[in-house]
Structure 1
């Protein structure tokens, strides 16, 4: 084998960029960061759609996965294929998990992840441009966070804020305060109103200047290499059917909730029955690999905008209402977003339904669903996409919560200043809103993913047969193999997963630097 490193980090997304960069701060540690997508080291060479914070980039730098969402229906399932991962293509929502989320992680056998333990790592990653360095926020970190100012809100964003206040919700200036609940501007990973700021932009520039740090882009990891149960490197696909072995003392998988478990399975780590069916030897029988897939389901009430009521350069998300769902006791387990505009070019079935290229409206995202899915491999060939089954709306409670959320969306959309900007509702009407069964059908018809998969390599003690890593993110039954990304979350957080994934990367890097 060639190319000896102390650490090889697989995937440069929200967590991977953080863990690799932090490890390289110690000049005695030689770090290699791998990514299957392209790398753009400087802003001047970065594609415009990656820098454009006004819309998600879902096509040009994507794995092109599809996922079964419910009852056999398949949807696009975007995952960023680029240095920065999904943080380079996503909605720039920089929300933290809430203290009760980490109480769940502790209850699952992971006491090191109590809120007081994770807060310093949220602060370490932040450069909060509004609140600076205080007891709650961080300053000087790699990821800038700003909130939309009142004079930056679009008319429909301002109307949503006002309609939520009229409906009795509290006004929130800072959604990253752990006690905040109500409506207010979205914390966003950007330094200015226009440019998306990814984890690669935040963490890698300084690391690239270090002699002990290397980035290799455009290479896909097939599997982890072992000596017994000790990880000693990875096998890469480098194109034209050729492979290459890279040697490292430690291997860190940060390829995300789909690709990290896929690499484990191709390495002989996972449910014995699945590995036997795939035709590979069982190195470690871990039933939880690929299981416990959790995602945030979303739906909403949408309209076709009147001509001239928005600009394509307007940010598509600026305001959010966080609250407790109807019939729930969970803190902030429901989010409502004002979608200022959303281009349907990549969603032809929705464009046909709307009979328009662009929609706007209020979107509801359930933060604590009961439903669980799974990802599996159909072959050991890394060029073949995995089978992703989200299994959303698998419980009656999950369905009912979104039905009630649609009613709330309808009330918010019909406030002054929002509905007047639209020329027609999509599917829904006053009459349909009175029909319970039609609303249930509408929820299933309009259902989509928020693209926040977690849990497919969940953390927990060795006594938990569904756990894949321990609380220090070491893969059970192996040596020198770690996972740092959203796949290790035992339960999903009540927010977009980007910032928590980065915090996980910071946390693992700190542990490794202690050794």
Structure 2
């Protein structure tokens, strides 16, 4: 191995960023080049768009994410119809549908809300920053418990985890008390009602600076830090294929979207961390086609509702002065829809779903002024249960060598179906959501199941495994079976059935893979 090995990373989201930082911090001379097909949205690379206070600038940044190119060449592909729920579970503004109906559109009639963001920072520029720890069967069984706990802790550090965001909110505390009265006796110790862990940095004025890929990159984007001299980020640079010498990856071919010139780039290691659809698509386009590629697609299905908080019940727990203080604080941060965030986490066997409860002084949609709960002084909660999808080989994405997509790569067709196992747990979650809403107030939006693909948390299509038996794409260190020097990353690696927000888990898996890269490069 050369004294200054070169690592190429495809994708600039939190996972690719975790690879870049971990490799450079664990190898004394390695260099990293990161390629991103989309534009840079913010002055700080990868910063969360949610931190932009000016609504016009925020909207422009989101629009720049909604297509494959920026500026005069940007091509908006749309937002999932009927699924814009800002500040709920996903920031769907800033995404574009994969099945958008035009030339080169993917085919996803059974997964209609499937969407992606194309920008520096990936979905990390738009996400809600929720980072609950995986538990019970959500964890990866073949990673030892002690190592897993350390990896999760490292991932939390990279993401600037906050376990008690808005814990001082009197409104949030009252919501927890009402939910505890309803559900507490049914939940196991350590998995009851609590605050939702999030990624970000509390500010002196009570607001949050939400984390994006920028906080993961950390010193790599600080010009004064020595590590930044070994890191290069190139936006509007679309990787068209992985170059191989037999069963060994040797680099990539990059299409500069500004000049439309293609250039080969050599690499000692290639890391593909785009997303759960475009990463396997790149492998397929490069002739790398393990049997499990694209299969075992999962997400967590979401049953959502909005509830107007009950004034009498809240008034028993929160004084008028405390409410006035809360509303005054919210008025200072009107551009940020998230205030107090609470949850009931996944646990087994009796609570195999996750509840998120987010307080806001306004509902996420306009209420008719004549509605009895319009303009509620006590505000509202947007609530939802995440319900797991059990992995099946039948669910997944296939690629066509005969039909190209709008990028000129093999086009996608997504096949997906709910089974009685999911339908039963969705029914249970819906019943619990009704109980939660009734404990807190009055429904202003009835519980409903969002369309398949709405979570934006897509998993399993490059799943990791402990043996090369055709049911996984990568080994326990995220290396593609049978191809040297090729590593994959992202939610697509997750082989388990998960109920909520997989980013923390995927960053932990990436840390493990990146440490192994650094070890291999020093052998």
TM-score by length of structure 2 reads 0.73
Q: Is residue 121 from structure 1 mapped to residue 161 from structure 2 by the alignment? A: no
Displacement, 1:447?
6.3
Q: Does structure 2 conserve the Cα–Cα contact (< 8 Å) formed by 1:8 and 1:31? A: yes
Q: Is residue 242 from structure 1 mapped to residue 261 from structure 2 by the alignment? A: yes
Give 1:401's aligned residue: 425
Give 1:265's aligned residue: 284
Q: Is residue 31 from structure 1 mapped to residue 45 from structure 2 by the alignment? A: no
Deviates more, 1:466-475 or 1:309-318: 309-318
Q: Does structure 2 conserve the Cα–Cα contact (< 8 Å) formed by 1:165 and 1:171? A: no
Give 2:473's aligned residue: 468
Displacement, 1:67?
9.0
Distance 1:452 1:390 in 2: 16
After superposition, residues 104-503 of structure 1 pair within 5 angstroms as 105-106=140-141, 111=142, 113-127=143-157, 141=158, 143-152=160-169, 155=171, 157-169=172-184, 180-192=190-202, 193-206=207-220, 208=222, 209=225, 210-239=228-257, 241-270=260-289, 286-303=290-307, 312=334, 313-315=336-338, 318-324=341-347, 329-330=348-349, 332-341=351-360, 343=364, 360-367=381-388, 369=390, 373-378=395-400, 379-381=403-405, 383=407, 387=412, 389=414, 391-392=416-417, 394-415=418-439, 417-419=440-442, 424-426=444-446, 443=449, 449-503=454-508
Q: State the aligned residue count.
A: 435
Displacement, 1:304?
7.5
Q: Does structure 2 conserve the Cα–Cα contact (< 8 Å) formed by 1:148 and 1:318? A: yes
Q: Does structure 1 conserve the Cα–Cα contact (< 8 Å) formed by 2:40 and 2:120? A: yes
Question: Could you say what the CA RMSD is over the residues aligned between the two structures, in angstroms?
Answer: 3.8
Give 2:71's aligned residue: none
Distance 1:330 1:338 in 2: 22
Q: 1:361 to 1:33 in 2, by over 3 A?
A: closer
Deviates more, 1:50-59 or 1:75-84: 50-59
Give 1:12's aligned residue: 12
Unaligned runs of 5+ in 1: 128-140, 173-177, 271-285, 346-355, 429-441
Give 2:65's aligned residue: none
Distance 1:448 1:261 in 2: 17
Q: Does structure 2 conserve the Cα–Cα contact (< 8 Å) formed by 1:299 and 1:446? A: no
Displacement, 1:27?
3.5
Q: Does structure 1 conserve the Cα–Cα contact (< 8 Å) formed by 2:309 and 2:441? A: no
Displacement, 1:47?
7.4
Q: 1:374 to 1:447 in 2, by over 3 A?
A: closer
Q: Does structure 2 conserve the Cα–Cα contact (< 8 Å) formed by 1:233 and 1:251? A: yes
Unaligned runs of 5+ in 2: 59-85, 102-106, 311-323, 367-373
1:455-484 CA distance string (max 9 Å, x none): 101112554112211112211121111112
Q: Does structure 1 conserve the Cα–Cα contact (< 8 Å) formed by 2:191 and 2:346? A: yes
Q: Does structure 2 conserve the Cα–Cα contact (< 8 Å) formed by 1:24 and 1:207? A: no
Displacement, 1:72?
3.7
Distance 1:16 1:489 in 2: 15
Give 1:84's aligned residue: 121
Distance 2:221 2:5 in 1: 15
1:355-383 CA distance string (max 9 Å, x none): x9998543111135456621223435561
Displacement, 1:344?
5.3
